[in-house]
Structures are given as C-alpha cells and as structure tokens.
Amino acid sequence: MVSFERFNDLLHRLGSYAWWEIAVEIVVIWLVVFAVFRFVQGTRAARAIKGLIVLLIFGAIFMQLLGDEHLERLGYLYNRMLAVIAIAMVVIFQPELRRALIRLGETKFMRSGYEGAARVAGEVAPACRYLSKARFGAIVVIERRVGLKGIAEVGTILDAHLTAPLLQTIFYPGSALHDLAVVIRGDKVYSAGVQLPMAGPTDLPDRTLGSRHRAAVGVTKDSDALVVVVSEETGLIRVAQRGVLSGAIDPEALESVLASLLGHDGDSEDSIKPEASGSTAVDEGFADDVGSDEQAPAREAGEGA
C-alpha cells in the first residue's frame, strides 16, 4: 500500500513538470549514458559499467518506491555503497578512464589535422614499401596530439630530418637500432631503438601475430599515435591506431592511407571496432582507407621481435 501511494505521488510530481522539461532531461541522460558506453566500448570496463548502471537503476527505483523512512538502515548502506563503488571504479579502471579522457581530447571540435601529413606520408610510405619488399621488419610510430616523450626518450634520440632513406637505414638488419621502433614527431625522426609497451595476445585479431604487432597495438591503446608495422616474416604492412590492428594494406596504397588518416587526425578511426579473434576483417569506414584482408596477401605467420 505504501509503495502504491509513493508511486502515485511520483506520477503526480512528474505531471507537474512541463513535457519539454522531461523530454530534455531524458535526452541529456541518454546522451551521457551513450557517451560513457562509447568511451569504454571494447574495454574490460564495459560489462562492469553496464552491470553497475542496471544495479543503480533498480536500487534507485526500489528505494524511491519503499522510501528511506521504512528502510532507513538499508537506505544508509545504499548511499554509502554508491560512494565506495565510485572510488573503486576509479581505482580499478584507471587505464580505461585515462583512455576515455584521451578519446575526449580527440573529438572533432578539439582537434585539427596532423601538420605536414602529406610530407610524412610521402616519406614513410616508400620506406615501408622498400622494407616490405626486402622483408625487413619495422615499427614506425607517428606521434600526434598525445605526447610520447616518456617512451621515446628511452631510445636513442636522433632528432633527424625525416627521409625515406633514413628509415630504410635504421631498419636495415645490420643496424644497431633495427629491432625496435622509431618515433616520428612532426617532420623529424625523433627517436629510434624505442621499446614500446606490449599489448596482450588477446588484443590482436590473430594470436599468431608476433611481438612487433603486439607493440604496435600496445602503444596505441594509451595514445592517439598512428603506427605502421612491417612483418619481417611475410613483408605484410599493417596500421594500428586506438588499440586496433588493421588488415594487410596494399603497399601501393599506403601513402594515400597514411595521408588520409593523418590529414583527418584519426577521423576515420571513429568507426573502428576490435576485430574478432582469428580474423583480420577491417570495419566499414576504416576499410575504405586500408582495404580488407580479402584484397590482401595470405595471412602472415607469427613473428618475433
């Protein structure tokens, strides 16, 4: 009886508001929930947040209908639990929250195109074509808005003018720096011999892919960098961004792919979704730039660093 009276009281209060006020509030709430899900999509936090939202909704409805005066101790515990859960979510999902803030900084109204995109693409693409043909492994990291200073300075600082021959020389098997990554900042090869953070095997679309691809995905999970990786085993070229590895790219199309992605500062990545395990299919929208595996050579085998 008490619950029914409180429900009627709730309906009466809602009826006192203008319809447009309720509509605006519902739209705002929906947009906030949608934005949260969009930011955490493809992360381990996604399921936890979905479950938490369901729990909070049912808890709020339950407490609203029964009233705090009838379940005073339960209401007290519920309110305290909200604070504990909020703190726990920040601690447990700190990496996901950091990535969400990075994504927020990448929204269209807060970003601009990569300066010198055409020139960078014009030097990186021919170098990678040469390395692909020669079967020389390579990882080229192109820094964008999120700085990679902490990672780059662990390697050998070059701060050299970016040219295709320089990249080819660095990744030549006889070079002391060929095993690790190169970081490009602006129109400079800022650092070489850089050790990148590694993604887990489950973060790759194909678990047979090796440490170069894990490193390429790993550095893009916590930054907006664009990474080109060349397989030493097969010569296949792939692009990684936002923690997603593309399918193999036609070497002749690489320059236009890079120019497009850099020119829009990653706008094309908005439609990228994590690929299914064992598949290198590229999501629609990104496929227009990088092509799909159906057009690519046969799947590459696993490889070392």
3-state secondary structure 15-75: HCCCHHHHHHHHHHHHHHHHHHHHHHCCCCHHHHHHHHHHHHHHHHHHHHHHCCCCCHHHH
**Mean pLDDT across 107-118:** 60
The reported pLDDT for the residue numbered 110 is: 46
Name the pairing type of β-strands 181-185 and 138-142. Answer: parallel
**Torsion region of 113: left, alpha or beta (phi above 0 gives left; psi -120 to 50 gives alpha):** beta
Query: Hey, what are 51's tokens?
Result: 């479950």
Q: How far apart are CA 99 and CA 223, in angstroms?
A: 7
Residue that is written with structure tokens 């500062």 in the block: 265
Q: Return the minimum-mean-pLDDT range out of 104-118, 137-151, 189-203, 239-253.
A: 104-118
Rounded to two decimals, what is the model's pTM?
Answer: 0.60
Confidence of residue 147 (pLDDT cuts 50, 70, 90): confident
**Beta bridge partners of residue 189, listed in sequence order:** 160, 184
The reported pLDDT for the residue numbered 127 is: 96
CATH 3.40.1700.10 intervals, the chain: 117-295
**Level-2 CATH architecture, domain 117-295:** 3-Layer(aba) Sandwich (3.40)
Phi, psi angles (nearest 5°) of residue 221: -70, -30
Confidence of residue 136 (pLDDT cuts 50, 70, 90): very high
Q: How far apart are CA 149 and CA 249, in angstroms?
A: 29
More confident residue, 248 or 80: 248
Ordered alpha helix ranges (H), the chain: 2-15, 19-40, 45-66, 72-92, 94-105, 117-134, 149-152, 164-170, 211-221, 254-263, 287-290
Residue that is written with structure tokens 């996604």 in the block: 46
Count of Cβ atoms closer than 10 Å to residue 30 Cβ? 10
Confidence of residue 236 (pLDDT cuts 50, 70, 90): very high
Residue 287 confidence (pLDDT) above 70? no
